[in-house]
Amino acid sequence: MHTQHAKKKTILVGQSGGPTAAINASLAGVYETAHACGAHTLGMRYGIEGFMRGGVVDLDERLADPLSVELLERTPSSYLGSCRYKLKPHTQDPEPYHILFERFEDFGIYAVLYIGGNDSMDTIAKLSAYGEEVGSDVRFIGIPKTIDNDLVLTDHTPGYGSAAKYIAASMSEIVRDSSVYDLKSATFVEIMGRDAGWLAGASCLAESSGVATPDLCLLPEVTLDTDAMLNVIAHVLEVKNTAVIAVSEGVRNASGELVCATTQDAADGTRLDAFGHVASLSGTGRFLASLTRNRLGCKTRAVELSTLQRCASHMASSTDLHEAHALGGAGVLSALDGMTGKMTALVRASDVPYLVETALVDVQEVANKERKVPRSFIRSDGMGVTPLFERYARPLISGEISPIMAGGVPRHIDPLGGGLA
Amino acid sequence: MHTQHAKKKTILVGQSGGPTAAINASLAGVYETAHACGAHTLGMRYGIEGFMRGGVVDLDERLADPLSVELLERTPSSYLGSCRYKLKPHTQDPEPYHILFERFEDFGIYAVLYIGGNDSMDTIAKLSAYGEEVGSDVRFIGIPKTIDNDLVLTDHTPGYGSAAKYIAASMSEIVRDSSVYDLKSATFVEIMGRDAGWLAGASCLAESSGVATPDLCLLPEVTLDTDAMLNVIAHVLEVKNTAVIAVSEGVRNASGELVCATTQDAADGTRLDAFGHVASLSGTGRFLASLTRNRLGCKTRAVELSTLQRCASHMASSTDLHEAHALGGAGVLSALDGMTGKMTALVRASDVPYLVETALVDVQEVANKERKVPRSFIRSDGMGVTPLFERYARPLISGEISPIMAGGVPRHIDPLGGGLA
Burial class of residue A379 (count of CB atoms within 10 Å of its CB; 0-12, 13-18, 19+): middle
Min Cα–Cα distance to chain A from B106, Å: 23
Q: What are the mean pLDDT values of chain A's consecutive 10-residue runs (421 residues total)?
A: 63 96 98 98 98 97 97 97 94 97 98 96 97 97 97 98 98 95 96 96 85 91 96 96 96 88 45 47 84 94 95 97 98 98 98 97 94 97 96 97 94 84 52
Same structural domain, B165 and B297: yes
Q: Give the residue from B7, B65, B66, B81 showing the smallest Cα distance to B40.
A: B7
Name the residue among B168, B241, B307 with its Cβ closest to that of A177: B307
- Per CB-CB distance under 8 Å, the chain B contacts of A174 are 307-308, 311
Q: Does A170 touch chain B (CB under 8 A)?
A: yes
Q: Give the residue from A339, A409, A342 showing the smallest Cα distance to A143.
A: A342
Q: Give the residue from B136, B144, B197, B207 showing the smallest Cα distance to B171.
A: B207
Same structural domain, A56 and A99: yes
pLDDT of residue A418: 64
Min Cα–Cα distance to chain B from A167, Å: 10
pLDDT of residue A47: 97
Name the residue among A50, A174, A176 with its Cβ closest to that of B182: A50
Q: Does A56 touch chain B (CB under 8 A)?
A: no
> pLDDT tens across B127-186, in order?
999 999 999 999 999 999 999 999 999 999 999 999 999 999 999 999 999 999 999 999
pLDDT at B2 over 50: no
CB-based contacts of A204: which residues, under 8 Å, 6+ apart? A168, A213, A214, A217, A246, A384, A385, A389, A390
Distance CA A143, CA A63 (A): 20
Burial class of residue A36 (count of CB atoms within 10 Å of its CB; 0-12, 13-18, 19+): exposed
Give domain status of residue A94, yes or no.
Answer: yes
- Per CB-CB distance under 8 Å, the chain B contacts of A420 are 182
In eight-state DSSP terms, residue B151 is: -
pLDDT at B18 over 50: yes
Q: Does A82 touch chain B (CB under 8 A)?
A: yes
Same structural domain, A15 and A110: yes
Q: Does B128 touch chain A (CB under 8 A)?
A: no
Give domain status of residue A20, yes or no.
Answer: yes
Q: Minimal Cα distance from B74: which residue of A?
A: A173
Same structural domain, A232 and A319: no
- Would you list the DSSP string of B277-321? SB-----HHHHHHHHHHHHH--EEEEEE-TTHHHH-GGG-BHHHH
Distance CA A289, CA B115 (A): 30
pLDDT of residue A350: 97
Would you call B168 and A408 a contact, using CB atoms and an 8 Å cutoff? yes
Q: Does B337 touch chain A (CB under 8 A)?
A: no
A245, A175 Cβ separation under 8 angstroms: no
Q: Does B52 touch chain A (CB under 8 A)?
A: no
- Per CB-CB distance under 8 Å, the chain A contacts of B45 are 182
Min Cα–Cα distance to chain A from B132, Å: 30
Same structural domain, B164 and B301: yes
Q: Give the residue from A148, A138, A83, A143 showing the smallest Cα distance to A116.
A: A143
Same structural domain, B335 and B294: no
Same structural domain, A121 and A165: no
Give domain status of residue B418, yes or no.
Answer: no
Give domain status of residue B237, yes or no.
Answer: yes
Same structural domain, B307 and B327: no
pLDDT of residue B278: 46
Distance CA A173, CA A315 (A): 13
pLDDT at B263 over 80: no
Range of the domain at A134: 10-158+314-368+398-410
Distance CA B321, CA B419 (A): 27
Would you call B182 and A420 a contact, using CB atoms and an 8 Å cutoff? yes
pLDDT of residue A278: 47
- Per CB-CB distance under 8 Å, the chain A contacts of B46 are 181-182
pLDDT band of B261, cuts 50, 70, 90 = low
pLDDT of residue A264: 42
Give the mean model confidence (pLDDT) for residues B327-351.
Answer: 98
pLDDT band of B343, cuts 50, 70, 90 = very high
Give domain status of residue B112, yes or no.
Answer: yes
CATH assignment of the domain containing A20: 3.40.50.450
In eight-state DSSP terms, residue B393 is: H
Chosen domain end from A297, A312, A327: A312
Q: Give the strands of the sheet with A109-116, arranged side by side.
A: A56-58, A40-44, A10-15, A109-116, A139-144, A342-350, A355-362
Distance CA A356, CA A157 (A): 12
Same structural domain, B112 and B134: yes
pLDDT of residue B210: 61
CATH assignment of the domain containing A179: 3.40.50.460
B344 three-state secondary structure: strand
pLDDT of residue A2: 44
Distance CA B13, CA B111 (A): 8
The phi and psi torsions of A412 (rounded to 5 degrees) equal: -110, 170
Q: Does A182 touch chain B (CB under 8 A)?
A: yes
* Angle of the A23-36 helix axis to the A66-73 helix axis, nearest 10: 150
What is each CA distance from B2 to B9, B36, B110, in whole angstroms?
Answer: 9, 19, 11
Q: Give the residue from B117, B102, B143 showing the smallest Cα distance to B332.
A: B143
Is the Cα dihedral B257, B260, B262, B267 positive or negative?
negative
Maximal CA-CA distance, chain A: 74
Query: B148 catalytic, yes or no?
Result: yes
Q: Specify which residues B148 forms β-bridges with.
A: none
Q: Specify which residues B359 forms β-bridges with.
A: B345
B79, B105 Cβ separation under 8 angstroms: no
Distance CA B49, CA A28 (A): 55
Would you call A408 and B205 a contact, using CB atoms and an 8 Å cutoff? yes
What is each CA distance from A144 to A159, A337, B24, in whole angstroms?
Answer: 9, 19, 42
End-to-end CA distance of chain A: 20
% of chain B residues with pLDDT over 90: 87
- Per CB-CB distance under 8 Å, the chain B contacts of A414 are 209, 211
CB-based contacts of A380: which residues, under 8 Å, 6+ apart? none
Would you call A182 and B411 a contact, using CB atoms and an 8 Å cutoff? no
End-to-end CA distance of chain B: 20
Same structural domain, B138 and B82: yes
Chain mean pLDDT for chain A: 92
pLDDT of residue A421: 52
In eight-state DSSP terms, residue B203 is: G
Distance CA A400, CA B252 (A): 41
Maximal CA-CA distance, chain B: 74
Same structural domain, B208 and B223: yes
Task: Give the HSE-up count for residue B67: Cα atoms under 13 Å, Cβ half-sphere.
Answer: 4
Q: How many domains does chain A have?
A: 2
Distance CA B84, CA B17 (A): 5
Which of B119, B122, B148, B320 is labelled catalytic? B148
Distance CA A194, CA A261 (A): 12
B26 three-state secondary structure: helix
pLDDT of residue A258: 87
A39, A71 Cβ separation under 8 angstroms: no
Distance CA A38, CA A176 (A): 52
pLDDT of residue B273: 43
Q: Does B30 touch chain A (CB under 8 A)?
A: no
Same structural domain, A182 and A154: no
Chosen domain end from A312, A339, A359: A312
Q: Looking at this predicted complex, what is its ipTM?
A: 0.93
Query: How many beta carbons lie within 10 A of that of residue B414, not counting itself?
Result: 15
Q: Does B176 touch chain A (CB under 8 A)?
A: yes
Give domain status of residue A113, yes or no.
Answer: yes
Would you call B301 and A280 a contact, using CB atoms and an 8 Å cutoff? yes
Query: How many beta carbons lie within 10 A of that of residue A261, not counting itself?
Result: 17
Task: Write out chain A in H/E/C secondary structure.
Answer: CCCCCCCCCEEEEEECCCCCCCHHHHHHHHHHHHHHCCCEEEEECCHHHHHHCCCEEEHHHHCCCHHHHHHHHCCCCCCCCECCCCCCCCCCCCHHHHHHHHHHHHCCEEEEEEEECHHHHHHHHHHHHHHHHHCCCCEEEEEECCCCCCCCCCCCCCCHHHHHHHHHHHHHHHHHHHCCECCCEEEEEEECCCCCCHHHHHHHHCCCCCCCCCCEEECCCCCCCHHHHHHHHHHHHHHCCEEEEEEECCCECCCCCEHHHHCCCHHHHCCECCCCCECCCCCHHHHHHHHHHHHHCCEEEEEECCCHHHHCHHHCEHHHHHHHHHHHHHHHHHHHCCCCCEEEEEEEEECCCCEEEEEEEEHHHCCCCCCCCCHHHECCCCCCECHHHHHHHHHHHCCECCCCEECCEECCCCCCCCCCC
pLDDT at B356 over 50: yes
Give domain status of residue B387, yes or no.
Answer: no
Give domain status of residue B375, yes or no.
Answer: no
pLDDT of residue B368: 86
Chosen domain end from A285, A312, A339: A312
| Interface A:B, Cβ pairs < 8 A | 223
Q: Give the residue from A121, A129, A103, A117 showing the smallest Cα distance to A160.
A: A117
Distance CA A106, CA A104 (A): 6
In eight-state DSSP terms, residue B275 is: T
Query: How many beta carbons lie within 10 A of that of residue B80, not counting itself?
Result: 27
**Active-site positions of A?**
148
Distance CA B22, CA B13 (A): 15
